[in-house]
Amino acid sequence: MEEDIRQAVESAGVGEFDGDEFGGGKVVLFMYGADADKLFAVVEPILRRDSSYSGHAVLRYGEPGESTRRREVDF
b/e sequence 29-60, b meaning 16+ C-beta within 10 Å: bebebeebeebbebbeebbeeeeeeeeebebe
- What are the extents of the domains in the chain? 2-74
Mind listing the pLDDT tens digit of every residue in the chain (75 residues)? 899 999 999 999 999 999 999 998 888 999 999 999 999 999 999 999 977 778 889 999 987 777 788 999 988
pTM for the complete prediction? 0.84
**Beta pairing, strands 56-61 & 69-74:** antiparallel
